[in-house]
Structures are given as structure tokens and as C-alpha cells.
Structure 1
């Protein structure tokens, strides 16, 4: 901590005289209000608050950004490898569509045949005894 001018540092009680900076080794017991007093009526306050643990470390924003970019790049590489490995070497179908087999030509019914007899109109009340033409 740096005071604007040389002064006396206080934390609950007097700590040191005539220094512009105060350096402390931070610990949980060092939390609280610090101030320096100079010119006998001017005070400059510092409030120290934090949490300290043995395994804590500060993460740099640039390092965090690099980790995210590398993660996205690695994911893209894995996706490309999977795409290349699963891509079919041969097309699923044949290159040329197969030709449909030739069908014999349909011809209309021959003139008079025993297969195409006229309906018997004498039974006009029976089902299917009358031909209804539509269209």
C-alpha cells in the first residue's frame, strides 16, 4: 500500500513511522482497515479484504481466452477427423440409374372375344348388372 506522502501507518494500533509504503504478508489475520496519517490531519484509508488459501492461484484472462480458443479448435479437428473417417468411399447407389425393363405394349381388347361378353340385362335388379359410366 502506498500513502501519498510520508506518514504514520495504523492498523488497530500504530504500525510504523515516516514511510510512504507499507508492505505486509497477506493472511487471514491481516484483514481490516489500514490507514496512513500525514500532515497531522490528513488520512488515507485502505480496506484489505480477501480470502487466502494454500492451493489458490489467479487465472490470467489471456490464458483463459487461449484455453477456450484451443478447446474450440481441438473440437473442430476431432469433428473433421470423424467426418473424413465416416465418409463413404463409394456412392450408395449406382452411378447410372438402371433402365426399367421393357414392358410389352398394351393393346386394346380384340374385336369380339368370349372374355368380353355383354352384360345380361335381364337381371337388372342384381348387383353389378348395370354398367355405370363415369367421366
Structure 2
């Protein structure tokens, strides 16, 4: 159950929530492209900053190494006069030497791990069931069938002839 939850979490992280924008993460910045805008008539807005360009490059803060903020991509479609606006929040940690893991690689690693674990389980199961001499040995019984009689006559075994015919007297016969 935990593994399934982890797999869904990785799948959700691999889906790009900013649809309509192409986001590229570099060593010290994030480059966002609003690909649906025609002829570069795209307005990018972050806070009070506004840029009329198809791409927007957000530099990372020096202290934290993160790009964080509320970004807006606004453009007009060629076939209509209405403005289309995409608003999204982005928080990305950028660093030198970071490695990006896409969804396909994550799924491949998880499935490979499951197959490898299943193979180890199968091998252990097959070797555990293997008989080396072909016959099964019976465990020796340390108890004897007739235990020795106790030395005290109070614990002497009952004689079946002396039992009465009461309701519960025949249960252990």
C-alpha cells in the first residue's frame, strides 16, 4: 500500500501543472515559454514586473537558490479577440550539478525494483522448497506414548469398569 502511494506521488510530480507553458530549468534560472501565444504577443507578469516577450527568464535568488513567485502568461488567440490568461505559482530550487528525473525514468526504476525484488523472492522460495535427499524426515517425538505412572496413588489412572454412567462421564472414552 505504501509502495502504491509512493508510485502515485512520483507520477503526480512528473506531470507538468503549467499547461500551455514550457518550463526549462537551468543551473541558476528558470526559462518559461508561453507556446500558445501567436507572433510573440505574450505578456509575462511576476508581481509588478511585466515583460512582452514569448519567453521569460527568472533568475534564482543568491541566498536560497530558488525561483519562487506567482507568474502570469497572457496572450490573444489569432482567431478570437479574447485574452487568455494562465496564472501559476512556481517554486523551483536550482543548483549546479542537479539531475532532473522525468516520469518515464522514475517508472522504469520503480518497475525494475519490483521485478528484481520479485525475482529474489521467487529464487528464495524455490530453494526453500527443494528436497536434497528426496524423502521427508519425520521429526522425532520426544514424548513417549505411555507416560510413566506417577508415584502418588492419588493420581492413578481411572479404571474404565469403575466409571459410572453419568451425563459427562463418557466424553473422554
Report the TM-score, using the length of structure 2 for normalisation: 0.37
Q: Which has the larger radius of gyration?
A: 1
Higher RCO (C-alpha under 8 Å, 6+ residues apart): 2
